A = this chain, B = another copy of it.
Amino acid sequence: MFKIVHQDGKARVGRLQTAHGTVETPFFMPVASKASVKAMSGSDIEDLGYQSLISNSFILSLSPGIDVVENIGGIHKFMHFNNTIFTDSGGFQVLSKDFLLKKSDKGVYFKDKSGKKSLYTPELVVENQLRLASDVAMTLDDVAHFGLGGKDYVDAIKRTHAWAKRSKQAHDELKESYNSKQLLFGICQGGIREEYRRFSTHKINEMDFDGVALGGLVVGESRKELLESIKIAVDSFDQEKIKYLMGLGSPSDIVQAVGEGVDCFDSIYPTANARHGSILTKTGRYMIKKIAYKHDKGPLEEGCTCSTCTHYSKSYLHHLLRTHELLGYKLATIHNLHFMNQLLNNIRTAIKEGRYEIFKNEFLEAYFSGKEAKEFSSQIQRKYQEKEEQQQAKYLLTHQNSSSKK
Protein backbone atom coordinates (compact mmCIF):
# COMPACT_ATOMS: atom_id res chain seq x y z
CA MET A 1 0.00 0.00 0.00
CA PHE A 2 2.86 2.41 0.84
CA LYS A 3 6.45 1.63 -0.02
CA ILE A 4 9.57 3.78 0.33
CA VAL A 5 11.73 3.46 -2.80
CA HIS A 6 14.43 6.11 -2.22
CA GLN A 7 15.85 7.58 0.96
CA ASP A 8 18.10 10.65 1.16
CA GLY A 9 18.71 11.73 4.74
CA LYS A 10 15.25 11.96 6.30
CA ALA A 11 13.69 12.82 2.92
CA ARG A 12 12.24 9.94 0.96
CA VAL A 13 10.43 9.02 -2.24
CA GLY A 14 7.67 6.46 -1.91
CA ARG A 15 4.66 5.03 -3.68
CA LEU A 16 1.15 5.16 -2.31
CA GLN A 17 -1.21 2.68 -3.95
CA THR A 18 -4.93 3.51 -3.88
CA ALA A 19 -8.04 2.26 -5.69
CA HIS A 20 -7.44 4.96 -8.33
CA GLY A 21 -3.75 4.51 -9.05
CA THR A 22 -0.30 5.14 -7.66
CA VAL A 23 0.76 8.45 -6.17
CA GLU A 24 4.50 9.07 -5.93
CA THR A 25 5.49 10.77 -2.68
CA PRO A 26 6.25 13.46 -1.59
CA PHE A 27 3.16 15.00 -3.17
CA PHE A 28 0.98 18.08 -2.81
CA MET A 29 -2.82 18.07 -3.16
CA PRO A 30 -4.95 20.98 -4.36
CA VAL A 31 -8.06 21.50 -2.25
CA ALA A 32 -11.53 20.87 -3.69
CA SER A 33 -13.68 21.34 -0.58
CA LYS A 34 -16.92 21.59 -2.56
CA ALA A 35 -15.84 18.96 -5.14
CA SER A 36 -14.11 21.57 -7.30
CA VAL A 37 -10.65 23.08 -7.02
CA LYS A 38 -11.72 26.73 -7.30
CA ALA A 39 -12.00 27.78 -10.98
CA MET A 40 -10.69 24.38 -12.16
CA SER A 41 -12.34 21.24 -13.51
CA GLY A 42 -11.23 17.72 -12.60
CA SER A 43 -9.68 17.38 -16.07
CA ASP A 44 -7.78 20.66 -15.60
CA ILE A 45 -6.20 19.20 -12.45
CA GLU A 46 -5.34 15.94 -14.23
CA ASP A 47 -3.87 17.90 -17.17
CA LEU A 48 -1.57 19.74 -14.76
CA GLY A 49 -0.15 16.34 -13.77
CA TYR A 50 -1.75 15.99 -10.34
CA GLN A 51 -2.15 12.39 -9.16
CA SER A 52 -4.44 13.42 -6.31
CA LEU A 53 -6.55 16.12 -4.71
CA ILE A 54 -8.46 16.45 -1.44
CA SER A 55 -12.12 17.23 -0.83
CA ASN A 56 -13.95 17.75 2.46
CA SER A 57 -16.66 15.37 3.65
CA PHE A 58 -18.09 17.85 6.17
CA ILE A 59 -18.48 20.62 3.56
CA LEU A 60 -19.98 18.11 1.11
CA SER A 61 -22.43 16.87 3.77
CA LEU A 62 -23.81 20.42 3.98
CA SER A 63 -24.02 20.90 0.20
CA PRO A 64 -24.90 19.09 -2.01
CA GLY A 65 -25.34 16.37 0.68
CA ILE A 66 -23.62 13.00 0.90
CA ASP A 67 -26.69 11.31 -0.67
CA VAL A 68 -26.36 13.39 -3.86
CA VAL A 69 -22.73 12.41 -4.47
CA GLU A 70 -23.47 8.79 -3.53
CA ASN A 71 -26.43 8.59 -5.95
CA ILE A 72 -24.34 9.94 -8.83
CA GLY A 73 -21.86 7.11 -8.21
CA GLY A 74 -19.26 8.64 -5.91
CA ILE A 75 -17.05 11.69 -5.83
CA HIS A 76 -14.82 10.67 -8.77
CA LYS A 77 -17.76 10.54 -11.14
CA PHE A 78 -19.44 13.59 -9.58
CA MET A 79 -16.49 15.92 -10.20
CA HIS A 80 -14.96 13.97 -13.13
CA PHE A 81 -11.52 13.35 -11.60
CA ASN A 82 -10.09 9.90 -12.19
CA ASN A 83 -7.00 9.92 -9.97
CA THR A 84 -6.73 9.51 -6.19
CA ILE A 85 -9.14 11.53 -4.04
CA PHE A 86 -8.59 12.11 -0.32
CA THR A 87 -11.47 13.36 1.80
CA ASP A 88 -10.89 15.28 4.98
CA SER A 89 -13.19 14.63 7.93
CA GLY A 90 -13.79 18.36 8.29
CA GLY A 91 -12.88 18.34 11.97
CA PHE A 92 -11.23 21.72 11.57
CA GLN A 93 -14.33 23.23 9.93
CA VAL A 94 -17.04 21.75 12.19
CA LEU A 95 -15.14 23.07 15.21
CA SER A 96 -15.01 26.62 13.85
CA LYS A 97 -17.26 29.30 15.27
CA ASP A 98 -19.42 29.20 12.12
CA PHE A 99 -20.77 25.76 13.04
CA LEU A 100 -19.77 24.64 16.56
CA LEU A 101 -22.44 24.43 19.25
CA LYS A 102 -20.88 22.03 21.75
CA LYS A 103 -18.18 19.39 21.90
CA SER A 104 -18.68 16.20 23.89
CA ASP A 105 -17.00 12.82 24.01
CA LYS A 106 -19.86 11.55 21.85
CA GLY A 107 -19.06 13.96 19.02
CA VAL A 108 -19.59 17.55 17.86
CA TYR A 109 -22.96 19.27 18.03
CA PHE A 110 -23.16 21.87 15.28
CA LYS A 111 -25.67 24.04 13.47
CA ASP A 112 -25.69 24.52 9.70
CA LYS A 113 -26.51 27.81 7.94
CA SER A 114 -30.25 27.14 8.11
CA GLY A 115 -29.90 26.81 11.88
CA LYS A 116 -30.54 23.06 11.88
CA LYS A 117 -28.75 21.27 14.75
CA SER A 118 -26.94 17.97 14.15
CA LEU A 119 -24.49 15.65 15.84
CA TYR A 120 -21.25 14.85 14.04
CA THR A 121 -19.67 11.62 15.32
CA PRO A 122 -16.49 9.74 14.37
CA GLU A 123 -18.67 6.87 13.09
CA LEU A 124 -20.80 9.16 10.93
CA VAL A 125 -17.68 10.78 9.48
CA VAL A 126 -16.28 7.39 8.49
CA GLU A 127 -19.55 6.29 6.92
CA ASN A 128 -19.94 9.60 5.03
CA GLN A 129 -16.51 9.09 3.47
CA LEU A 130 -17.32 5.51 2.49
CA ARG A 131 -20.51 6.77 0.86
CA LEU A 132 -18.52 9.45 -1.02
CA ALA A 133 -16.24 6.57 -2.16
CA SER A 134 -13.02 8.56 -1.78
CA ASP A 135 -9.71 6.66 -1.90
CA VAL A 136 -8.34 7.91 1.41
CA ALA A 137 -10.50 8.89 4.40
CA MET A 138 -9.41 10.90 7.44
CA THR A 139 -10.61 10.37 11.03
CA LEU A 140 -12.47 13.04 12.97
CA ASP A 141 -10.02 14.77 15.30
CA ASP A 142 -10.43 17.40 18.00
CA VAL A 143 -8.33 20.48 17.28
CA ALA A 144 -7.46 22.73 20.22
CA HIS A 145 -7.11 26.22 18.84
CA PHE A 146 -3.66 27.73 18.85
CA GLY A 147 -3.04 29.94 21.84
CA LEU A 148 -5.28 28.03 24.24
CA GLY A 149 -3.93 26.69 27.52
CA GLY A 150 -2.62 23.24 28.43
CA LYS A 151 -5.92 21.77 29.67
CA ASP A 152 -7.52 22.36 26.27
CA TYR A 153 -4.69 20.59 24.51
CA VAL A 154 -4.88 17.60 26.84
CA ASP A 155 -8.67 17.35 26.39
CA ALA A 156 -8.33 17.63 22.61
CA ILE A 157 -5.64 14.96 22.51
CA LYS A 158 -7.62 12.51 24.65
CA ARG A 159 -10.75 13.00 22.58
CA THR A 160 -8.76 12.72 19.33
CA HIS A 161 -7.40 9.33 20.46
CA ALA A 162 -10.79 8.01 21.58
CA TRP A 163 -12.37 9.18 18.32
CA ALA A 164 -9.50 7.68 16.28
CA LYS A 165 -10.13 4.30 17.91
CA ARG A 166 -13.89 4.49 17.24
CA SER A 167 -13.19 5.60 13.64
CA LYS A 168 -10.90 2.66 12.98
CA GLN A 169 -13.41 0.22 14.42
CA ALA A 170 -16.30 1.68 12.40
CA HIS A 171 -14.20 1.68 9.22
CA ASP A 172 -13.20 -1.95 9.73
CA GLU A 173 -16.84 -2.90 10.28
CA LEU A 174 -18.35 -0.88 7.41
CA LYS A 175 -15.71 -1.20 4.71
CA GLU A 176 -16.84 -4.60 3.51
CA SER A 177 -20.51 -3.66 3.21
CA TYR A 178 -19.44 -0.79 0.92
CA ASN A 179 -17.19 -3.17 -1.04
CA SER A 180 -14.50 -0.54 -0.54
CA LYS A 181 -10.71 -0.48 -0.76
CA GLN A 182 -10.66 2.91 0.97
CA LEU A 183 -7.64 3.66 3.16
CA LEU A 184 -8.05 5.34 6.55
CA PHE A 185 -5.50 7.78 7.98
CA GLY A 186 -5.27 8.71 11.67
CA ILE A 187 -4.42 12.23 12.83
CA CYS A 188 -2.22 13.20 15.77
CA GLN A 189 -2.71 16.42 17.74
CA GLY A 190 -0.80 18.11 20.54
CA GLY A 191 -0.21 21.65 19.29
CA ILE A 192 3.37 22.86 19.60
CA ARG A 193 4.15 21.43 23.07
CA GLU A 194 6.73 18.69 22.72
CA GLU A 195 5.40 16.20 25.31
CA TYR A 196 1.80 16.53 24.03
CA ARG A 197 2.79 16.12 20.40
CA ARG A 198 5.05 13.15 21.22
CA PHE A 199 2.34 11.48 23.30
CA SER A 200 -0.33 11.94 20.61
CA THR A 201 1.98 10.72 17.84
CA HIS A 202 2.76 7.64 19.89
CA LYS A 203 -0.94 6.87 20.49
CA ILE A 204 -1.96 7.29 16.82
CA ASN A 205 1.09 5.32 15.73
CA GLU A 206 0.02 2.23 17.71
CA MET A 207 -3.40 2.08 16.07
CA ASP A 208 -3.23 0.26 12.80
CA PHE A 209 -3.97 3.14 10.37
CA ASP A 210 -3.01 3.01 6.69
CA GLY A 211 -1.28 6.35 7.09
CA VAL A 212 -0.68 8.98 9.73
CA ALA A 213 -1.29 12.71 9.66
CA LEU A 214 -0.03 15.70 11.63
CA GLY A 215 -3.05 17.82 12.58
CA GLY A 216 -3.46 21.08 14.46
CA LEU A 217 -0.49 22.78 12.82
CA VAL A 218 -0.27 25.73 10.41
CA VAL A 219 -2.83 27.54 12.56
CA GLY A 220 -0.86 30.56 13.72
CA GLU A 221 2.33 29.18 15.29
CA SER A 222 5.74 30.56 14.24
CA ARG A 223 7.77 28.87 11.52
CA LYS A 224 10.29 27.72 14.15
CA GLU A 225 7.55 26.18 16.33
CA LEU A 226 6.04 24.51 13.26
CA LEU A 227 9.33 22.94 12.21
CA GLU A 228 10.05 21.71 15.75
CA SER A 229 6.62 20.05 15.96
CA ILE A 230 7.13 18.40 12.58
CA LYS A 231 10.49 16.97 13.70
CA ILE A 232 9.04 15.58 16.90
CA ALA A 233 6.05 13.96 15.20
CA VAL A 234 7.93 12.53 12.23
CA ASP A 235 10.60 11.03 14.47
CA SER A 236 8.00 9.45 16.76
CA PHE A 237 6.01 7.79 13.95
CA ASP A 238 7.16 4.47 12.46
CA GLN A 239 9.40 5.33 9.54
CA GLU A 240 7.69 3.01 7.06
CA LYS A 241 4.33 4.80 7.47
CA ILE A 242 3.21 7.50 5.05
CA LYS A 243 3.18 10.88 6.82
CA TYR A 244 0.73 13.61 5.87
CA LEU A 245 1.09 17.19 7.13
CA MET A 246 -2.37 18.74 6.87
CA GLY A 247 -2.84 22.32 5.68
CA LEU A 248 0.76 23.11 4.75
CA GLY A 249 1.24 24.64 1.33
CA SER A 250 3.81 27.43 1.06
CA PRO A 251 6.71 26.33 -1.17
CA SER A 252 9.40 27.09 1.40
CA ASP A 253 7.54 25.24 4.17
CA ILE A 254 7.05 22.19 1.96
CA VAL A 255 10.72 22.07 0.97
CA GLN A 256 11.71 22.13 4.65
CA ALA A 257 9.07 19.62 5.77
CA VAL A 258 10.14 17.13 3.08
CA GLY A 259 13.65 17.43 4.50
CA GLU A 260 12.20 16.22 7.83
CA GLY A 261 10.52 13.19 6.22
CA VAL A 262 6.98 14.39 5.45
CA ASP A 263 5.41 12.65 2.41
CA CYS A 264 2.13 14.39 1.73
CA PHE A 265 0.67 17.92 1.82
CA ASP A 266 -2.52 19.81 1.06
CA SER A 267 -3.38 23.49 1.21
CA ILE A 268 -5.42 26.25 -0.39
CA TYR A 269 -2.17 28.25 -0.48
CA PRO A 270 -1.44 28.21 -4.25
CA THR A 271 -5.10 28.56 -5.32
CA ALA A 272 -6.14 31.23 -2.81
CA ASN A 273 -2.95 33.18 -3.55
CA ALA A 274 -3.66 32.97 -7.28
CA ARG A 275 -7.15 34.42 -6.91
CA HIS A 276 -5.70 37.32 -4.93
CA GLY A 277 -3.13 37.92 -7.68
CA SER A 278 -0.17 36.54 -5.73
CA ILE A 279 2.04 34.68 -8.20
CA LEU A 280 4.50 31.95 -7.18
CA THR A 281 7.94 31.85 -8.81
CA LYS A 282 11.31 30.29 -8.00
CA THR A 283 12.55 33.74 -6.99
CA GLY A 284 9.70 34.45 -4.59
CA ARG A 285 6.10 35.50 -4.99
CA TYR A 286 4.82 38.81 -6.30
CA MET A 287 1.57 40.72 -6.69
CA ILE A 288 0.52 40.83 -10.35
CA LYS A 289 -1.96 43.64 -9.66
CA LYS A 290 0.91 46.06 -8.93
CA ILE A 291 0.96 48.94 -11.42
CA ALA A 292 4.50 47.94 -12.45
CA TYR A 293 3.05 45.05 -14.50
CA LYS A 294 0.49 47.08 -16.46
CA HIS A 295 2.58 47.08 -19.64
CA ASP A 296 4.71 43.98 -18.98
CA LYS A 297 4.83 41.76 -22.08
CA GLY A 298 6.62 38.89 -20.34
CA PRO A 299 4.99 35.71 -18.95
CA LEU A 300 4.11 35.39 -15.25
CA GLU A 301 7.44 33.56 -14.76
CA GLU A 302 10.31 33.41 -17.25
CA GLY A 303 10.94 29.86 -18.44
CA CYS A 304 7.63 28.50 -17.09
CA THR A 305 5.95 26.00 -19.43
CA CYS A 306 2.38 26.26 -18.07
CA SER A 307 -0.38 27.17 -20.53
CA THR A 308 -0.84 30.58 -18.91
CA CYS A 309 2.83 31.51 -19.32
CA THR A 310 2.87 30.05 -22.85
CA HIS A 311 -0.04 32.17 -24.12
CA TYR A 312 -0.49 35.24 -21.94
CA SER A 313 1.41 38.29 -20.73
CA LYS A 314 1.73 39.72 -17.24
CA SER A 315 -0.11 42.69 -18.72
CA TYR A 316 -3.20 40.59 -19.56
CA LEU A 317 -3.25 38.90 -16.13
CA HIS A 318 -2.80 42.30 -14.47
CA HIS A 319 -5.84 43.58 -16.40
CA LEU A 320 -8.03 40.51 -15.78
CA LEU A 321 -7.37 40.36 -12.05
CA ARG A 322 -7.76 44.10 -11.52
CA THR A 323 -11.11 44.06 -13.32
CA HIS A 324 -12.31 40.89 -11.53
CA GLU A 325 -12.67 38.91 -14.77
CA LEU A 326 -13.39 35.24 -14.00
CA LEU A 327 -10.75 34.09 -16.50
CA GLY A 328 -8.04 35.81 -14.44
CA TYR A 329 -8.71 33.54 -11.45
CA LYS A 330 -8.33 30.48 -13.61
CA LEU A 331 -5.19 31.57 -15.49
CA ALA A 332 -3.41 32.55 -12.26
CA THR A 333 -4.51 29.28 -10.61
CA ILE A 334 -3.11 27.28 -13.54
CA HIS A 335 0.28 28.93 -13.09
CA ASN A 336 0.44 28.54 -9.30
CA LEU A 337 -0.68 24.89 -9.42
CA HIS A 338 1.79 24.16 -12.23
CA PHE A 339 4.49 25.77 -10.11
CA MET A 340 3.62 23.54 -7.13
CA ASN A 341 3.51 20.37 -9.21
CA GLN A 342 6.88 21.22 -10.78
CA LEU A 343 8.30 21.92 -7.33
CA LEU A 344 7.22 18.48 -6.11
CA ASN A 345 8.64 16.88 -9.28
CA ASN A 346 11.96 18.61 -8.60
CA ILE A 347 11.84 17.55 -4.95
CA ARG A 348 11.37 13.88 -5.91
CA THR A 349 14.13 14.02 -8.52
CA ALA A 350 16.57 15.59 -6.04
CA ILE A 351 15.81 12.84 -3.49
CA LYS A 352 16.26 10.11 -6.11
CA GLU A 353 19.61 11.63 -7.07
CA GLY A 354 20.71 11.87 -3.42
CA ARG A 355 21.15 15.66 -3.42
CA TYR A 356 18.12 16.79 -1.44
CA GLU A 357 20.03 18.91 1.08
CA ILE A 358 21.70 20.87 -1.73
CA PHE A 359 18.41 21.26 -3.60
CA LYS A 360 16.66 22.48 -0.45
CA ASN A 361 19.28 25.10 0.35
CA GLU A 362 19.45 26.35 -3.24
CA PHE A 363 15.67 26.55 -3.48
CA LEU A 364 15.29 28.45 -0.21
CA GLU A 365 18.16 30.82 -1.10
CA ALA A 366 16.53 31.70 -4.45
CA TYR A 367 13.01 31.83 -2.99
CA PHE A 368 13.88 34.20 -0.17
CA SER A 369 16.59 36.29 -1.84
CA GLY A 370 15.42 36.28 -5.48
CA LYS A 371 14.27 39.21 -7.53
CA GLU A 372 10.57 38.79 -6.80
CA ALA A 373 11.14 38.13 -3.11
CA LYS A 374 13.11 41.36 -2.83
CA GLU A 375 10.43 43.37 -4.57
CA PHE A 376 7.78 41.74 -2.44
CA SER A 377 9.60 42.55 0.78
CA SER A 378 9.05 46.24 0.18
CA GLN A 379 5.99 48.25 1.05
CA ILE A 380 3.50 45.65 -0.15
CA GLN A 381 5.16 42.89 1.82
CA ARG A 382 4.92 45.00 4.96
CA LYS A 383 1.29 45.78 4.25
CA TYR A 384 0.50 42.09 3.82
CA GLN A 385 2.46 41.10 6.89
CA GLU A 386 0.55 43.61 8.95
CA LYS A 387 -2.72 42.32 7.55
CA GLU A 388 -1.75 38.71 8.27
CA GLU A 389 -0.79 39.63 11.83
CA GLN A 390 -4.07 41.47 12.32
CA GLN A 391 -6.00 38.49 11.00
CA GLN A 392 -4.09 36.17 13.29
CA ALA A 393 -4.76 38.38 16.29
CA LYS A 394 -8.45 38.56 15.37
CA TYR A 395 -8.57 34.79 14.91
CA LEU A 396 -7.07 34.12 18.32
CA LEU A 397 -9.38 36.61 19.97
CA THR A 398 -12.46 35.09 18.36
CA HIS A 399 -11.54 31.56 19.23
CA GLN A 400 -10.55 32.36 22.78
CA ASN A 401 -13.93 34.07 23.17
CA SER A 402 -15.92 31.24 21.63
CA SER A 403 -13.89 28.78 23.70
CA SER A 404 -14.60 30.59 26.96
CA LYS A 405 -18.32 30.65 26.08
CA LYS A 406 -18.42 26.85 25.91
Contact = CB atoms under 8 A, between A and B. Distances in A.
A64 interface: yes
A64 B311 contact: no
A71 B295 contact: yes
A326 B295 contact: no
A250 interface: no
A327 B72 contact: no
B34 A71 contact: no
Interface string A281-318: 00000000000001101000000000000011101101
Query: How many copies of this chain?
Result: 2
A193 interface: no
A329 interface: yes
A295 to B, nearest CB: 6
Contacts of A325: 34, 36, 38
Interface in A58-88: 63-65, 67-68, 71-72, 78-80
A78 B330 contact: no
Query: Which of A297, A326, A330 has the largest count of B CB atoms less than 10 A from its CB?
Result: A326
A35 interface: yes
A68 B315 contact: yes
A106 B188 CA distance: 74
A104 interface: no
A361 B41 CA distance: 38
Interface residues of A, number: 39
A320 interface: yes
Contacts of A43: 311
Nearest to A316: B78
Nearest to A328: B36
A322 interface: yes
Contacts of A294: 64-65, 68
B34 A297 contact: no
Given A34-B323, A313-B72, A322-B63, A331 B41 contact: yes
A42 B311 CA distance: 10
Contacts of A174: none
A113 to B, nearest CB: 11
A80 B327 contact: no
A39 interface: yes
Contacts of A328: 36
Contacts of A319: 34-35, 63-64, 68
A40 interface: yes
Contacts of A313: 72, 78
A320 B72 contact: no
A305 to B, nearest CB: 16
B322 A330 contact: no
B297 A71 contact: yes
A113 B375 CA distance: 29
Given A41-B327, A63-B323, A64-B318, 14 more contacts: A34-B325, A35-B319, A36-B325, A36-B326, A38-B325, A38-B327, A39-B326, A41-B311, A63-B322, A64-B323, A65-B294, A71-B295, A72-B313, A78-B313
